[in-house]
Protein backbone atom coordinates (compact mmCIF):
# COMPACT_ATOMS: atom_id res chain seq x y z
CA UNK A 1 0.00 0.00 0.00
CA UNK A 2 2.63 2.48 -1.13
CA UNK A 3 1.89 5.65 -3.09
CA UNK A 4 0.51 3.72 -6.06
CA UNK A 5 -0.85 0.61 -4.37
CA UNK A 6 -2.97 2.60 -1.95
CA UNK A 7 -4.50 4.66 -4.76
CA UNK A 8 -5.16 1.54 -6.83
CA UNK A 9 -6.93 -0.18 -3.96
CA UNK A 10 -8.95 2.96 -3.18
CA UNK A 11 -9.99 3.22 -6.82
CA UNK A 12 -11.20 -0.38 -6.78
CA UNK A 13 -13.18 0.20 -3.58
CA UNK A 14 -14.82 3.26 -5.12
CA UNK A 15 -15.70 1.25 -8.24
CA UNK A 16 -17.96 -0.87 -6.07
CA UNK A 17 -15.72 -3.91 -5.73
CA UNK A 18 -15.39 -5.84 -2.49
CA UNK A 19 -11.68 -5.34 -1.87
CA UNK A 20 -9.36 -7.17 0.51
CA UNK A 21 -5.96 -5.56 1.09
CA UNK A 22 -2.67 -6.69 2.59
CA UNK A 23 0.48 -4.73 3.37
CA UNK A 24 3.67 -5.64 5.17
CA UNK A 25 3.12 -2.78 7.65
CA UNK A 26 -0.47 -2.96 8.86
CA UNK A 27 -0.82 0.77 9.58
CA UNK A 28 -0.85 1.58 5.86
CA UNK A 29 -4.09 -0.36 5.42
CA UNK A 30 -6.06 1.79 7.88
CA UNK A 31 -7.21 4.46 5.37
CA UNK A 32 -8.46 1.71 3.06
CA UNK A 33 -10.22 -0.04 5.90
CA UNK A 34 -11.99 3.24 6.58
CA UNK A 35 -13.15 3.27 2.95
CA UNK A 36 -14.67 -0.20 3.36
CA UNK A 37 -11.88 -2.58 2.40
CA UNK A 38 -11.27 -5.77 4.35
CA UNK A 39 -7.75 -6.28 5.73
CA UNK A 40 -5.96 -9.62 5.38
CA UNK A 41 -3.14 -10.78 7.64
CA UNK A 42 -1.11 -12.51 4.89
CA UNK A 43 -0.85 -12.68 1.08
CA UNK A 44 -2.10 -16.26 1.36
CA UNK A 45 -5.35 -15.03 2.91
CA UNK A 46 -5.89 -12.69 -0.05
CA UNK A 47 -5.33 -15.32 -2.74
CA UNK A 48 -7.40 -17.91 -0.89
CA UNK A 49 -10.44 -15.63 -0.73
CA UNK A 50 -10.19 -13.41 -3.84
CA UNK A 51 -10.63 -14.40 -7.50
CA UNK A 52 -8.79 -11.35 -8.90
CA UNK A 53 -5.62 -10.24 -7.14
CA UNK A 54 -3.37 -7.24 -7.85
CA UNK A 55 0.20 -6.93 -6.58
CA UNK A 56 1.98 -3.56 -6.58
CA UNK A 57 5.48 -3.85 -5.11
CA UNK A 58 8.67 -1.83 -5.23
CA UNK A 59 11.20 -4.15 -6.83
CA UNK A 60 11.89 -7.70 -8.05
CA UNK A 61 12.90 -8.93 -4.59
CA UNK A 62 9.62 -7.81 -3.01
CA UNK A 63 7.55 -9.15 -5.90
CA UNK A 64 9.10 -12.61 -5.60
CA UNK A 65 8.98 -12.69 -1.80
CA UNK A 66 5.31 -11.77 -1.52
CA UNK A 67 4.31 -14.14 -4.31
CA UNK A 68 6.40 -17.22 -3.63
CA UNK A 69 8.33 -17.33 -0.36
CA UNK A 70 7.05 -19.23 2.67
CA UNK A 71 3.76 -20.74 3.85
CA UNK A 72 1.99 -17.36 3.86
CA UNK A 73 2.95 -16.40 0.29
CA UNK A 74 0.41 -15.72 -2.44
CA UNK A 75 1.06 -19.01 -4.25
CA UNK A 76 0.38 -20.95 -1.03
CA UNK A 77 -3.12 -19.49 -1.01
CA UNK A 78 -3.61 -20.31 -4.69
CA UNK A 79 -2.64 -23.94 -4.10
CA UNK A 80 -5.01 -24.12 -1.11
CA UNK A 81 -8.10 -22.97 -3.04
CA UNK A 82 -10.72 -25.73 -3.30
CA UNK A 83 -11.31 -27.29 -6.72
CA UNK A 84 -14.81 -25.79 -6.73
CA UNK A 85 -13.48 -22.22 -6.45
CA UNK A 86 -13.58 -19.88 -9.44
CA UNK A 87 -10.35 -19.59 -11.44
CA UNK A 88 -7.97 -17.08 -9.88
CA UNK A 89 -6.08 -14.38 -11.80
CA UNK A 90 -2.95 -12.90 -10.22
CA UNK A 91 -1.95 -9.57 -11.78
CA UNK A 92 1.45 -8.12 -10.92
CA UNK A 93 1.56 -4.38 -11.67
CA UNK A 94 5.11 -3.94 -10.34
CA UNK A 95 7.95 -2.77 -12.58
CA UNK A 96 10.38 -5.68 -12.55
CA UNK A 97 12.74 -7.45 -14.94
CA UNK A 98 11.52 -10.12 -17.36
CA UNK A 99 13.06 -12.97 -15.38
CA UNK A 100 11.13 -11.99 -12.24
CA UNK A 101 7.83 -11.78 -14.11
CA UNK A 102 8.37 -15.19 -15.67
CA UNK A 103 9.44 -16.71 -12.35
CA UNK A 104 6.32 -15.47 -10.56
CA UNK A 105 4.13 -16.49 -13.50
CA UNK A 106 5.49 -20.04 -13.46
CA UNK A 107 4.99 -20.23 -9.69
CA UNK A 108 1.36 -19.13 -10.00
CA UNK A 109 0.70 -21.68 -12.75
CA UNK A 110 2.31 -24.46 -10.68
CA UNK A 111 0.21 -23.49 -7.65
CA UNK A 112 -2.97 -23.64 -9.73
CA UNK A 113 -2.06 -27.13 -10.94
CA UNK A 114 -1.29 -28.20 -7.36
CA UNK A 115 -4.71 -26.96 -6.29
CA UNK A 116 -6.44 -28.84 -9.11
CA UNK A 117 -7.40 -25.59 -10.86
CA UNK A 118 -7.31 -25.25 -14.63
CA UNK A 119 -4.19 -23.13 -15.37
CA UNK A 120 -5.67 -22.12 -18.73
CA UNK A 121 -8.49 -20.26 -16.99
CA UNK A 122 -7.28 -17.13 -15.27
CA UNK A 123 -3.62 -17.49 -14.30
CA UNK A 124 -0.89 -14.86 -14.22
CA UNK A 125 -0.73 -11.48 -15.93
CA UNK A 126 2.19 -9.07 -15.79
CA UNK A 127 0.67 -5.58 -16.05
CA UNK A 128 3.21 -2.91 -15.12
CA UNK A 129 1.60 0.48 -14.91
CA UNK A 130 2.50 3.81 -16.47
CA UNK A 131 1.29 6.92 -14.69
CA UNK A 132 1.37 8.52 -11.26
CA UNK A 133 -0.90 8.44 -8.27
CA UNK A 134 -3.07 11.26 -9.65
CA UNK A 135 -3.66 9.22 -12.82
CA UNK A 136 -4.65 6.29 -10.63
CA UNK A 137 -7.02 8.46 -8.61
CA UNK A 138 -8.64 9.61 -11.86
CA UNK A 139 -8.71 6.16 -13.49
CA UNK A 140 -6.36 7.15 -16.33
CA UNK A 141 -3.44 4.76 -15.86
CA UNK A 142 -1.88 2.84 -18.74
CA UNK A 143 -1.27 -0.91 -18.40
CA UNK A 144 1.34 -2.81 -20.42
CA UNK A 145 0.31 -6.45 -20.20
CA UNK A 146 2.00 -9.76 -20.87
CA UNK A 147 0.40 -13.16 -20.36
CA UNK A 148 -2.39 -15.39 -21.57
CA UNK A 149 -5.54 -14.06 -23.19
CA UNK A 150 -7.58 -15.73 -20.44
CA UNK A 151 -5.72 -13.85 -17.70
CA UNK A 152 -5.93 -10.60 -19.66
CA UNK A 153 -9.69 -10.94 -20.17
CA UNK A 154 -10.21 -11.82 -16.49
CA UNK A 155 -8.28 -8.71 -15.39
CA UNK A 156 -9.94 -6.31 -17.86
CA UNK A 157 -13.25 -5.96 -16.09
CA UNK A 158 -15.13 -2.98 -14.58
CA UNK A 159 -13.82 -3.84 -11.10
CA UNK A 160 -10.30 -4.58 -12.37
CA UNK A 161 -7.92 -2.89 -14.77
CA UNK A 162 -10.77 -0.99 -16.40
CA UNK A 163 -11.53 0.76 -13.11
CA UNK A 164 -7.97 2.03 -12.77
CA UNK A 165 -6.89 2.75 -16.33
CA UNK A 166 -8.19 4.12 -19.60
CA UNK A 167 -5.87 2.27 -22.00
CA UNK A 168 -4.18 -1.13 -21.98
CA UNK A 169 -2.24 -3.39 -24.32
CA UNK A 170 -1.63 -7.14 -24.42
CA UNK A 171 1.93 -7.07 -25.74
CA UNK A 172 2.56 -10.79 -25.91
CA UNK A 173 1.88 -14.16 -24.30
CA UNK A 174 4.80 -13.97 -21.84
CA UNK A 175 5.19 -11.83 -18.70
CA UNK A 176 8.62 -10.79 -19.93
CA UNK A 177 7.03 -8.98 -22.90
CA UNK A 178 5.35 -6.52 -20.55
CA UNK A 179 8.40 -6.16 -18.30
CA UNK A 180 10.70 -5.23 -21.17
CA UNK A 181 8.20 -2.78 -22.66
CA UNK A 182 7.78 -0.98 -19.35
CA UNK A 183 11.54 -0.60 -19.00
CA UNK A 184 11.59 1.16 -22.39
CA UNK A 185 9.27 3.82 -20.97
CA UNK A 186 11.39 4.13 -17.85
CA UNK A 187 14.53 4.66 -19.94
CA UNK A 188 12.88 7.60 -21.70
CA UNK A 189 11.42 9.09 -18.54
CA UNK A 190 14.60 8.75 -16.48
CA UNK A 191 16.83 10.12 -19.23
CA UNK A 192 14.46 12.99 -20.00
CA UNK A 193 14.17 14.18 -16.41
CA UNK A 194 17.90 13.68 -15.90
CA UNK A 195 18.59 15.83 -18.97
CA UNK A 196 16.11 18.44 -17.71
CA UNK A 197 17.97 18.59 -14.39
CA UNK A 198 21.23 19.19 -16.23
CA UNK A 199 19.67 21.97 -18.31
CA UNK A 200 18.22 23.64 -15.22
CA UNK A 201 21.55 23.47 -13.40
CA UNK A 202 23.37 24.93 -16.40
CA UNK A 203 20.76 27.69 -16.72
CA UNK A 204 21.29 28.64 -13.10
CA UNK A 205 25.08 28.61 -13.42
CA UNK A 206 24.78 30.83 -16.52
CA UNK A 207 22.80 33.41 -14.59
CA UNK A 208 19.70 32.85 -16.71
CA UNK A 209 16.13 33.14 -15.48
CA UNK A 210 15.27 29.45 -14.98
CA UNK A 211 11.54 30.17 -15.15
CA UNK A 212 11.91 31.89 -18.51
CA UNK A 213 14.07 29.08 -19.89
CA UNK A 214 11.53 26.49 -18.76
CA UNK A 215 8.71 28.54 -20.31
CA UNK A 216 10.56 28.64 -23.63
CA UNK A 217 11.12 24.88 -23.43
CA UNK A 218 7.45 24.21 -22.63
CA UNK A 219 6.34 26.22 -25.69
CA UNK A 220 8.88 24.71 -28.07
CA UNK A 221 8.80 21.52 -30.10
CA UNK A 222 10.50 19.83 -27.13
CA UNK A 223 7.82 20.83 -24.65
CA UNK A 224 5.85 18.16 -22.81
CA UNK A 225 3.81 17.93 -19.60
CA UNK A 226 6.48 15.88 -17.79
CA UNK A 227 9.24 18.47 -18.25
CA UNK A 228 6.90 21.33 -17.41
CA UNK A 229 5.81 19.69 -14.15
CA UNK A 230 9.23 18.43 -13.07
CA UNK A 231 10.93 21.68 -14.07
CA UNK A 232 8.58 23.58 -11.75
CA UNK A 233 9.51 21.25 -8.88
CA UNK A 234 13.20 21.80 -9.63
CA UNK A 235 12.80 25.60 -9.55
CA UNK A 236 10.89 25.50 -6.28
CA UNK A 237 13.11 22.76 -4.81
CA UNK A 238 10.01 20.94 -3.56
CA UNK A 239 10.28 17.21 -4.03
CA UNK A 240 7.32 15.65 -2.26
CA UNK A 241 7.28 12.16 -3.76
CA UNK A 242 5.11 11.10 -6.65
CA UNK A 243 7.62 8.63 -8.10
CA UNK A 244 10.72 8.35 -5.97
CA UNK A 245 14.40 8.67 -6.88
CA UNK A 246 15.19 5.14 -5.71
CA UNK A 247 12.47 3.66 -7.92
CA UNK A 248 13.60 5.51 -11.02
CA UNK A 249 17.18 4.46 -10.37
CA UNK A 250 16.05 0.86 -9.89
CA UNK A 251 14.31 0.95 -13.25
CA UNK A 252 17.36 2.37 -15.02
CA UNK A 253 19.50 -0.30 -13.37
CA UNK A 254 17.18 -3.02 -14.70
CA UNK A 255 17.22 -1.44 -18.16
CA UNK A 256 21.02 -1.29 -18.15
CA UNK A 257 21.14 -4.97 -17.22
CA UNK A 258 18.81 -5.74 -20.13
CA UNK A 259 21.01 -3.69 -22.47
CA UNK A 260 24.07 -5.57 -21.25
CA UNK A 261 22.34 -8.94 -21.75
CA UNK A 262 21.39 -7.96 -25.31
CA UNK A 263 24.73 -6.39 -26.18
CA UNK A 264 23.16 -2.97 -26.85
CA UNK A 265 25.21 0.08 -25.80
CA UNK A 266 23.29 2.41 -23.47
CA UNK A 267 25.71 5.25 -22.58
CA UNK A 268 23.02 7.90 -22.10
CA UNK A 269 21.08 5.73 -19.64
CA UNK A 270 24.30 4.88 -17.82
CA UNK A 271 25.12 8.57 -17.37
CA UNK A 272 21.60 9.36 -16.15
CA UNK A 273 21.68 6.41 -13.77
CA UNK A 274 24.88 7.77 -12.19
CA UNK A 275 23.10 11.03 -11.36
CA UNK A 276 20.20 9.22 -9.70
CA UNK A 277 22.76 7.24 -7.70
CA UNK A 278 24.29 10.57 -6.70
CA UNK A 279 20.87 11.82 -5.55
CA UNK A 280 20.50 8.67 -3.44
CA UNK A 281 23.90 9.39 -1.87
CA UNK A 282 22.54 12.82 -0.95
CA UNK A 283 19.80 11.14 1.13
CA UNK A 284 17.13 11.91 -1.47
CA UNK A 285 16.14 8.32 -2.25
CA UNK A 286 12.54 8.87 -1.11
CA UNK A 287 12.14 12.26 -2.76
CA UNK A 288 10.41 12.71 -6.08
CA UNK A 289 12.75 11.76 -8.92
CA UNK A 290 12.87 15.42 -9.98
CA UNK A 291 15.32 15.68 -7.07
CA UNK A 292 17.98 14.38 -9.47
CA UNK A 293 18.43 18.14 -9.99
CA UNK A 294 20.21 18.20 -6.61
CA UNK A 295 22.93 15.91 -7.98
CA UNK A 296 24.34 19.07 -9.58
CA UNK A 297 24.57 20.87 -6.22
CA UNK A 298 26.63 20.44 -3.07
CA UNK A 299 25.47 17.84 -0.56
CA UNK A 300 22.17 18.53 1.14
CA UNK A 301 22.79 19.30 4.84
CA UNK A 302 20.98 16.72 7.02
CA UNK A 303 18.98 19.41 8.83
CA UNK A 304 17.56 20.59 5.50
CA UNK A 305 15.85 17.32 4.64
CA UNK A 306 12.34 16.24 5.46
CA UNK A 307 10.98 12.73 5.39
CA UNK A 308 9.38 13.41 2.01
CA UNK A 309 12.59 14.71 0.49
CA UNK A 310 11.25 18.28 0.37
CA UNK A 311 13.97 20.85 0.96
CA UNK A 312 13.03 23.48 3.52
Instruction: Give the residue numbers marked as catalytic.
Output: 182
Using H for helix, E for strand and C for coil, what is the string for the chain? CCHHHHHHHHHHHHCCCCCEECCCCHHHHHHHHHHCCEECCCHHHHHHHCCEEEECCCCHHHHHHHHHCCCCCHHHHHHHCCCCCCCCEEEECCCCCHHHHHHHHHHHHHHHHHCCCCCCCCEEEECCEECCHHHHHHCCEEEEEEECHHHHHHHCCCCCHHHHEEEEEECCCCHHHHHHHHHHHHHHHHHHHHHHHHHHHHHHHCCCCHHHHHHHHHCCCCCCHHHHHHHHHHHHCCCCCCCEHHHHHHHHHHHHHHHHHHCCCCHHHHHHHHHHHHHHHCCCCCCEHHHHHHHHCCCCCHHHECCCCCEC
Amino acid sequence: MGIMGAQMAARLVRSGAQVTVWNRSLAKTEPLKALGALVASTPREVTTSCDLVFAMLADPQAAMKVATEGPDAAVAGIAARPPTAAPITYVDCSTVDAATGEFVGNAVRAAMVAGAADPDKGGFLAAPVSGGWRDCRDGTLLFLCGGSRAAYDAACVPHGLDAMGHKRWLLGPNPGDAARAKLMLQVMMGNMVGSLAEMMALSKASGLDERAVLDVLSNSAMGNPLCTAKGKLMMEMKYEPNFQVYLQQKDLRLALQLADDLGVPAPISAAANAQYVRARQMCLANADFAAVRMAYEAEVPPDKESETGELN
